[in-house]
Amino acid sequence: MKKLHIVVMLSILLLLTACQKTTTTLSTKYINTTTTSTLNYTALGVVNYRYSMSSDVDMIIQIPSNIEVVHIFQGITFTPLERGVDYQIVLQQISLNQALFDIYTQPVTTFFTVYTPEGNYKIDIQLIYEELPYMMNHPIANYVSGQYPLLSFDCFGGQIVEINALYMTPDDYCINGNTIQIDWAYLSSIKNNHLEINYLVFDYVISYQEELYTGTYTINFNRS
């Protein structure tokens, strides 16, 4: 009977110890996750992009030049991304690792949430099937004072040939790999000196496998 009593007491002690360890682990995990309560949940806006499930390049997203990125979370699961692994930030451009999209097996609309000290931006991304050169940006955007619009493409090994718009010269844009950056001074000049123009249409040309592919990008000046 004494042996049985000792065994029972040891079993109870081990059970209590195990419960104590579990409680401590859960408590620590809870404390770590509650750091999200320090985030600024003020909504600053929504940015729309597209991304092909056939793409094998990282996705380039433009953010306002005057903000500091604090955290980025993926989807409704609010999965935190690790800077330097899941994304990079260079000159106010967020480069999302292509591997982040491997979890999707069919076209859907997903999103990322970018948190800054001032609030958060929602990045809506429409996943598509596309195996020909395409622009990742939404084809229509609003004019933003001081911002140099950045157009991101997946050329699938092709290259951007040119971009044209009203009164545009080669000094008004820069082609760098799969991106085109438009000079804000050019946009400001059009907006202020040509009041009859309500929106500006850009025509771009991409060369791919001895074929030329064209598309448009429009900036709305939002004149009242």
CA distance 193 to 185: 12
Residue 14 has pLDDT above 50, yes or no: no
pLDDT at 191: 96
Instruction: Single out the residue in 98, 114, 131 at which a domain terminates.
Output: 131
Cβ–Cβ under 8 Å, residues 54 and 155: no
3-class secondary-structure state, position 132: coil
CATH number of the domain where residue 158 is located: 2.60.40.10
User: Comparing 33-37, 162-166, 181-185, 196-200, which segment has the lowest mean pLDDT?
Assistant: 33-37
Residues 117 and 157 in one domain: no
What CATH number corresponds to the domain at position 45? 2.60.40
Say which range, 56-70, 85-99, 196-210, has the weakest mean pLDDT. Answer: 56-70
Residue 223 confidence (pLDDT)? 79
Q: 160: domain range? A: 132-224
Q: Are residues 138 and 117 in the same domain?
A: no
Question: Could you tell me what percent of the chain has a pLDDT over 90?
Answer: 72
CA distance 117 to 34: 17
| Residues 102, 142 within the same domain | no
Distance between CA atoms of 78 and 85, rounded to whole angstroms?
17
Q: What is the pLDDT of residue 22?
A: 31
The tens digit of pLDDT for each residue in 174-205 reads 999 999 999 999 999 999 999 999 999 999 99
Interval 120-124 mean pLDDT: 95
Query: If you average pLDDT over every residue of the chain, what do you get?
Result: 84
> Is residue 186 included in any domain, yes or no?
yes
Confidence of residue 38 (pLDDT cuts 50, 70, 90): confident
Please check whether residues 144 and 100 belong to one and the same domain. no
- 114 with 202, same domain: the answer is no
Q: Is the pLDDT of residue 37 over 90?
A: no
Residue 201 within any structural domain of the chain: yes
The larger pLDDT score, comparing residue 14 to residue 105, is at 105
Contact between 52 and 106 (Cβ < 8 Å): no
Q: How far apart are alpha carbons 95 and 90 in whole angstroms?
A: 8
Q: What is the CA radius of gyration of the chain?
A: 25
Q: What is the pLDDT of residue 5?
A: 44
The verdict on residue 13 lying in a domain is no
pLDDT for the residue numbered 67:
79
224 and 136 co-located in one domain? yes
Same domain, 74 and 45: yes
- Same domain for 70 and 136? no
Quick one: pLDDT at residue 66?
Answer: 73
Residue 47 contacts residue 123 (beta carbons within 8 Å):
yes
pLDDT band at 35 (very low <50, low <70, confident <90, very high): low
